[in-house]
Amino acid sequence: MLVDDRVLIDAGTGVGDLPLEALRRIEHVFLTHAHLDHIAGLPLFVDSTQGRQGRGPVTVHAREETLEALRRHIFNDVIWPDFSRIEGPQGALMVYRPIRAGEVVDLEVCQVGAVDVVHTVPALGYWVSDGRHTFGFSGDTRTNDSLWPVLNARASLDALIVEVSFPNEQRRLADVAGHYCPATLGADLERLRHDPHIWITAMKPGEEQVILRQLQHAVPNRRLAMLQTGQVLSL
């Protein structure tokens, strides 16, 4: 999820869809957790930003557990170089910045707030605001009691990007894997006081239309749509 050209939320394989000049404008990456589909594009992305036209390092924000996984398993000088120890013209090519649930990072273009969510590994969701408009990003999560009070506390919520990985027929698998299905998300949405546009993501391939139909049945009064690659949301 690319925000205002300079902020990236998660860094999966979709990063490869961006042209080189777009990659070189990104300054901050906020990771939800350490699973491969959320970090797979990060090593090659950081490698491609070495000619960032005088800009500083790429700052990677995440839970300490996520950063430790990157240090140990990815940027370990075996799988990939440790870019936090490689100097470019403006210092290290990459900087790690731990972030905790409840913490808000002030950037020039926006504020990013971290929220605890429930997954199979330590994970965060985020809200992003420019002071006028706000959107939420669940990351990977199952039903939880932490995301919804934080979103309700925002003055407004224009959009919510939320994962629903499995159809209702696989609810038990969804629970074990730490993901939503339409029934569990529908129940959690009852707690959301705002009425944002809701964009559904991370659906299992081949199950998209089934999941969308089940969601529309579960929450008929919500504005639902499937988020697609290359889509631009304007708030």
Listed range (42-46, 76-80, 222-226, 230-234) with the worst mean pLDDT: 230-234
Structure tokens at 150: 């934080």
3-state secondary structure of 47: helix
Average pLDDT, the chain: 94
| pLDDT tens-digit map of 80-102 | 999 999 887 777 889 999 999 99
Mean pLDDT of 169-182: 97
For the chain, the domains span: 1-99, 101-230
Is 1-99's fold the same as 101-230's?
A: yes
In the structure, what pLDDT confidence band is assigned to residue 53 with cuts at 50, 70 and 90?
low
Instruction: Classify burial at 100, counting beta carbons within 10 Å of its beta carbon; exposed 0-12, middle 13-18, buried 19 or more.
Output: exposed
3-state secondary structure of 157: coil
Q: Is 163 left (phi over 0), alpha (psi -120 to 50) or beta?
A: beta
* Overall pTM > 0.75: yes
CA separation for the pair 121, 178 (Å, rounded): 9
CATH domain 101-230 topology: Metallo-beta-lactamase; Chain A (3.60.15)
Q: Which CATH number fits domain 1-99: 3.10.20.30, 3.30.67.10, 3.40.50.300, 3.60.15.10?
A: 3.60.15.10
